[in-house]
Amino acid sequence: DSGVTQTPKHLITATGQRVTLRCSPRSGDLSVYWYQQSLDQGLQFLIQYYNGEERAKGNILERFSAQQFPDLHSELNLSSLELGDSALYFCASSPYDRTQYFGPGTRLTVL
Amino acid sequence: SQKIEQNSEALNIQEGKTATLTCNYTNYSPAYLQWYRQDPGRGPVFLLLIRENEKEKRKERLKVTFDTTLKQSLFHITASQPADSATYLCALGVGTDKLIFGTGTRLQVFP
């Protein structure tokens, strides 16, 4: 158990819908990262937050947005969902030493 | 273009042998490199971090080398066991704590 929690575990929704994925980092970790993992793309970095502020952006679509709240939990919002958005979404948190601790992931299926 | 390459095909080895996985990269100048283990449907688990000024790092049966001239890292598991069967991901540390992941190599250890 990494200490990072993600909810929900599974999410099934339809094209065009909007969903919110939630992540609680390990106690004391200020950095939160979001990744998307699909079969043909591997683990793709989406976005990083540090203590509430956006720190780095990767291949995140404009339909996706994220934020980190004062209690350090983070949410990833995915809107106007398409079939190709079906994937595993991971959140990771990191202390100062750059090690990333990954959560169990949310499996999103868009029908 | 920037690329991270890991053996795309699965690596099959016999129990007790040493497994060697390769990570090659182009057009990156990473400050550090990490290796993670990922089991099916689960989040990656951190194994080792090696910095650009370090040639080799060891942890129990694991050894990582980092050659910034060749732009290559080798990951060794000695005395491999069936429980070591998993996908192993290398990740380059670039920018501000951002990780770029390779697509991973699937290792299968047979008894």
CA gyration radius, chain A: 13
- Residue A58 · residue A66 · CB < 8 Å: no
Average pLDDT, chain A: 94
Per-residue pLDDT tens for A54-108?
A: 998 998 999 999 999 999 999 999 999 999 999 999 999 998 778 899 999 999 9
The answer to whether B101 contacts chain A (CB < 8 Å) is yes
* CA gap A31, B82 in Å, rounded: 34
More confident residue, B83 or A40: B83
Classify A85 as helix, strand or coil: helix
* CA gap A45, A75 in Å, rounded: 15
What single-letter DSSP state applies at residue A9?
S
More confident residue, B97 or B88: B88
Say what percent of chain A tops pLDDT 90. 86
- Residue B3 backbone class (left: φ over 0; alpha: ψ -120 to 50; beta: rest): beta
Position A41 scores a pLDDT of 75
- Residue A20 · residue A77 · CB < 8 Å: yes
Token code pair at residue A33: 């990262």
**Taking 90 as the threshold, does the pLDDT of residue B8 lie above it?**
no
Contacting residues of A for B49, CB less than 8 Å apart:
97-99
Position A82 scores a pLDDT of 97
Closest CA to A52 of A63, A39, A66, A64: A66
Contacting residues of A for B98, CB less than 8 Å apart:
45, 48, 56, 58
- Summarize the confidence of residues B28-55 as an average pLDDT: 93
Nearest CB partner across the interface for A31, out of B89, B97, B100? B97
**Taking 90 as the threshold, does the pLDDT of residue B63 lie above it?**
yes
Token code pair at residue A9: 């575990």
Classify A18 as helix, strand or coil: coil
Position A69 scores a pLDDT of 97
Contacting residues of A for B101, CB less than 8 Å apart:
35, 42-45
Burial class (CB in 10 A: 0-12, 13-18, 19+), A62: exposed
- Summarize the confidence of residues A29-45 as an average pLDDT: 90
Closest CA to A42 of B61, B3, B52, B59: B3
Average pLDDT, chain B: 93
The answer to whether B104 contacts chain A (CB < 8 Å) is yes
- Summarize the confidence of residues A37-48 as an average pLDDT: 88
**Chain A residue at shortest CA distance from B36:** A100
What single-letter DSSP state applies at residue A19?
E
